[in-house]
């Protein structure tokens, strides 16, 4: 009985340690992405900003953390929650599509602590990628990008729309 209690205590300690590490990775990823965005907004023409952001390696820390969190969050039902279905059902008569995303499954998946952390870092990486792309395009085309970068870091599609509209207005003047 004591061995079971010790094993449970060790498992709980390992889980708490992993949770603390995930929290630290979550926070560090957020600070990193916001720091890069701040450089693009506040010091867009500084040589250090341009050199850092021009390299696709600027995304590597976020990609690495995302990969780690994704691996840690993966459970046997992960794939089936996102894309439920079966090949056998799909081949039955008539139109019977399978592996369509399920909102209920996605909600279940992202209610998990580790999966939510990996989703956040995924969003940071994609948003920073979008902000980086329009920042570099803004340097070449000499259009302001600060407002679009800020939008990209929170609402990337709106940041991309903002940049497209800014370019259209800049071309007219």
Tens digits of per-residue pLDDT, 128-168? 999 999 999 999 999 999 999 999 999 999 999 999 999 99
132 and 110 Cβ atoms separated by less than 8 Å = no
CB 156 within 8 A of CB 134: no
Tell me what pLDDT residue 109 has. Answer: 95
Q: Which residue, among 125, 134, 116, has the nearest Cα to 32 in the 3D structure?
A: 125
Instruction: Judge whether 100 and 85 are in contact, CB under 8 Å.
Output: yes
pLDDT at 1 over 80: no
In this model, does residue 107 exceed pLDDT 80? yes
> Could you give the CA distance from residue 150 to residue 39 in angstroms, rounded to a whole number?
11
The predicted pLDDT at position 158 comes to 98
In percent, the amount of the chain with pLDDT more than 90 equals 76
Q: Say yes or no to pLDDT of 90 above 90.
A: no
Among 11-20, 26-35, 100-109, name the most confident range.
26-35
The whole-number pLDDT of residue 110 equals 96
**Residue 24's pLDDT is what?**
98
Give 151: exposed, middle or buried? Use CB within 10 Å, 0-12, 13-18, 19+: buried
Please give the Cα distance from 135 to 142 (Å, whole number): 10
pTM of the entire predicted model: 0.88
Q: Is the pLDDT of residue 4 over 90?
A: no
């Amino acid at each position: 009985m004591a061995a079971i209690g010790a094993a449970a205590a060790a498992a709980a300690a390992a889980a708490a340690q992993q949770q603390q590490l995930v929290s630290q990775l979550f926070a560090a990823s957020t600070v990193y992405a916001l720091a890069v965005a701040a450089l693009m907004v506040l010091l867009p023409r500084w040589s250090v900003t341009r050199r850092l952001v021009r390299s696709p390696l600027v995304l590597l820390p976020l990609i690495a953390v995302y990969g780690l969190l994704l691996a840690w969050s993966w459970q046997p039902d992960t794939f089936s929650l996102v894309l439920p279905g079966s090949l056998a059902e799909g081949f039955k008569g008539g139109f019977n599509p399978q592996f369509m995303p399920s909102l209920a499954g996605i909600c279940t998946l992202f209610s998990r602590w580790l999966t939510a952390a990996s989703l956040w870092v995924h969003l940071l990486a994609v948003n920073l990628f979008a902000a980086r792309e329009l920042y570099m395009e803004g340097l070449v085309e000499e259009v302001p990008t600060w407002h679009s970068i800020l939008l990209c870091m929170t609402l990337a599609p709106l940041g991309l729309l903002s940049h497209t509209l800014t370019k259209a207005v800049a071309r007219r003047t």
